[in-house]
């Protein structure tokens, strides 16, 4: 079983799933203790998808149950599309199928606004600038869940701010 997103966010599920599965929770590039390549091209979807495939191969598995949440869910969809032979079961939390997502945004422009945080982080240097305004301290947002704050605090405490 592969869990994609930020491994800290899977800590409770790891305890539950490990009794019946071999479970691997992954940090995506730049999260936790992973390498954080400097160049943006290292974060293209092709690279992120290949990372997961290569890790699965290196562990000696040809198939897995793949679970992804949020951005990890989008990557899980793309892995299942690009490498269907590697995915026995796919569970995606909080991200629709990429084709459905694209079609929905085209018909419902308000969804583009609701999903704007995905695009915000794709703009070169702008996210870093925005976070630097508050000296890279955590900002509060009423929609941010407690565990998301914990994940970010854990990540920053392990490596320092990813935006510096």
Domains of the chain: 2-152 (3.40.50.1820)
Q: Mean pLDDT throughout 7-11? A: 80
pLDDT for the residue numbered 119 = 72
Please tell me whether the overall predicted TM-score, pTM, comes out greater than 0.75 for this model.
no
Residue 106 has pLDDT above 80, yes or no: yes
Report CA Rg, the chain.
16
Cα–Cα separations (whole angstroms), residue 125 to 29, 119, 122, 138: 18, 13, 9, 18
Confidence of residue 142 (pLDDT cuts 50, 70, 90): very low
Would you place residue 150 in the very low, low, confident or very high pLDDT band (cuts 50, 70, 90)? Answer: low
pLDDT digits (tens, 9 = 90+) for 108-139: 989 888 877 777 777 777 777 777 776 666 55
**What are 8-11's contacts with CB under 8 Å, separation 24+?**
8/32, 8/150, 8/151, 8/154, 8/155, 9/69, 9/147, 9/148, 9/151
What integer is the mean pLDDT of 83-111? 92
Determine contact, residues 33/39, Cβ cutoff 8 Å. no
Within the chain, how many helices (H) and strands (E) appear?
8, 4
Does the pLDDT value for residue 77 go beyond 90?
Answer: yes
Q: Which residue has the higher pLDDT, 100 or 149?
A: 100
């Amino acid at each position: 079983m592969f869990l994609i997103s930020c491994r800290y966010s899977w800590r409770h599920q790891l305890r539950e799933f490990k009794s019946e599965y071999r479970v691997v929770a992954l940090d995506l590039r730049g999260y936790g203790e992973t390498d954080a390549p400097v160049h943006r091209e290292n974060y293209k979807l092709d690279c992120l998808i290949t990372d997961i495939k290569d890790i699965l191969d290196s562990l000696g598995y040809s198939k897995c149950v793949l679970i992804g949440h949020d951005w990890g869910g989008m990557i899980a969809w793309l892995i299942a599309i690009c490498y269907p032979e590697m995915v026995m079961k796919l569970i995606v939390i909080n991200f629709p199928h990429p084709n459905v997502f694209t079609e929905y945004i085209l018909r419902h422009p308000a969804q583009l606004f609701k999903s704007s945080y995905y695009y915000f982080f794709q703009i070169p240097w702008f996210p870093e600038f925005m976070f630097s305004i508050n000296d890279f301290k955590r900002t509060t947002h009423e929609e941010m869940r407690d565990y998301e704050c914990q994940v970010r605090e854990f990540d920053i405490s392990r490596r320092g701010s990813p935006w510096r």
